[in-house]
Amino acid sequence: MGFQDTAEEWRVTATVTPFRGKKTSVRTDEVEMPDGSVAHRDYQVHPGSVAVLALDDEGRVLVLRQYRHPVRHKLWEIPAGLLDVPGENPLHAAQRELFEEAYVKAADWRVLTDIYTSPGGSDEAVRIFLARNVSEAVGERFEVADEEADMELARVPLQDLVRGALAGDLHNSCLVVGVLALAAVLAGDGVDSLRPADAPWPARPFEA
């Protein structure tokens, strides 16, 4: 199919990084426009993230409710987290996040979809996995802190989450994209049509 996003990079004439945080930073680029003018573009530089839509044998999705200070809301989300180091295998990161946030493991993994969360203001790329054959994990539980210490966990039927997303009751981007994507997959070509868990990810290249 020819209908797809394409990589392209306009000339950057200057760049500065006025803020550096623990995990992300803010960059200002001077970008040459097609007409020859130069525009300033401010954006968040982000290491990339993974998210996991974990589906149990009863068709329920594992979700977490967590306080998100920038939007002043407690949001229902799917397990997710940052890539810890450049070039980290996203599947390994997703398995880690599922263990740390929900203390479960999964036997079957597929790539559900890849997104840029806010490409006008951030270079964050997220790979959303579908994880099935879910069971309780073994080993020492991860010690949580800060907002994560207040998290709630639930298992919710997929269609309830789809309805919530369409009704405007659920707002987390990975949850909304993930549940709508899975609903489309199940109504269409089926899970076997999804990419394997180690499929290439040009936005955040990694070694398998």
Q: Tokens for 131?
A: 């994880």
DSSP per-residue string spanning 128-150? EEEEEEEEE--SPPPPP-GGGGG
**How far is it, in rounded angstroms, from Cα 198 to Cα 14?**
36
| DSSP secondary structure string for all residues of 65-109 | EEEEGGGTEEEEE--EEE-SSTT--HHHHHHHHHHHHH-EEEEEE
End-to-end CA distance of the chain: give it in Å, rounded.
Answer: 26
Beta-sheet strand order (sheet of 38-45): 12-20, 25-32, 38-45
9 assigned to active site: no
| 21-51 exposure pattern, b = at least 16 Cβ within 10 A, e = fewer | eeeeebbebebeeeeeeeeeeebbbbbbbbb
Contact in structure between 66 and 150 (CB atoms under 8 Å):
yes
Tell me, what amino acid is at 48? G
Task: From the candidates 9, 148, 152, 207, give the one annotated as an active-site residue.
Answer: 148
At 206, list the tokens: 């990694």
Residues serving a catalytic function are 148
